Amino acid sequence: MRGKTHCAVGIITGIQLSLIFSQPIIPTTIVSSAVFSTLPDLDKSNSIISGIILKKNFSKFLYKLILFFLDIAIFLVSIKISSSFFISAFITFFTIIFLEKKITHYNMRKALITGTLFLLSIILFLAKVNLSFIIPFIIFSIFPWLRHRNFSHSFFMVIIVYLIMKPISILIDYEFLAFLSSFMYLLHIICDMFTRQGVAIFYPFSKNMISLGYIKVGGKFSNIIENLIIFILFIVTIHLMLKFL
């Protein structure tokens, strides 16, 4: 399922759940529904949620900038080692070729996303924000390094989301938040189960990718089905609103 479909399905379902459980629909309802329905895909560097944390164009710019300064540093070091300009240039040339093969934009982007989340948690810590708000940033900062659709897409992680959101929901006096967040997270996993690739829902106990469908993400058929689901959920929400409000 595409990121924007996860997000739309998440927001609509968040509104529906609030109506069913007679909970207020506040900005936190919408934001947490959008965030937690897309969060599992933080294990993919080109997902919507990764793009929100760090724009791809910006990480490409940073990547080129870091490589540029690294190249200069290598040249300066090699010129110190050897007094001959030609030998230095030779060493620099091959070291740069080797490094640029090893340090890809993909890997550096993952490191930058992790770094951004980690930096945010340090800023929050220095601002003396309650530790409950910092823990999620630390946990999710490891996501870019996880295998796609494994730990991030497991029942185990749904429980962790509930446990880390519970103290926050008490602190902000919106106890529905813990249930809402974990439900949105689970919804993402269930939606992904209907794709051909499936998800390792029982990870770390089993690495088997469980799939209940044959939908290919990004395919024409998949896009039609996804748009249809959003349309149906939208109609159901309008119906619920008329019934409950």
Q: Considering the complex, state which of residue 67 and residue 142 has its C-beta at the smaller distance from Zn ion.
A: 142
Q: Which of 169, 184, 192, 201 binds Zn ion (CB under 5 A)?
A: 192
Smallest CA-to-CA distance from 107 within 70, 63, 72 is with 63
Q: Assess 226 for contact with Zn ion (CB under 5 A).
A: no
Smallest CA-to-CA distance from 12 within 245, 213, 244, 241 is with 241
Least distance in angstroms from the C-beta of 41 to Zn ion: 4
Which amino acid would we find at residue 157? M
What number of chain residues touch Zn ion (CB under 5 A)? 3
**Contact mark string toward Zn ion, 132..171, x via CB under 5 A:** ----------------------------------------
Restricting to residues 21-40, which ones interact with Zn ion according to CB under 5 A?
Answer: 40
Give the tokens for residue 219.
């395919």
Q: Give the integer Cα–Cα distance in Å for 89 and 156.
A: 52
Q: Considering the complex, state which of residue 164 and residue 201 has its C-beta at the smaller distance from Zn ion.
A: 201
Angle at 208 between CA 44 and CA 148, to 5 degrees: 5
Least distance in angstroms from the C-beta of 198 to Zn ion: 11
Alpha helix positions (H), the chain = 3-20, 27-38, 48-53, 56-81, 85-102, 105-126, 131-140, 155-171, 176-193, 220-244
Q: Considering the complex, state which of residue 8 and residue 91 has its C-beta at the smaller distance from Zn ion.
A: 8
Q: Which of 17, 41, 144, 178 binds Zn ion (CB under 5 A)?
A: 41
Q: For binding to Zn ion (CB under 5 A), which residues are involved?
A: 40-41, 192
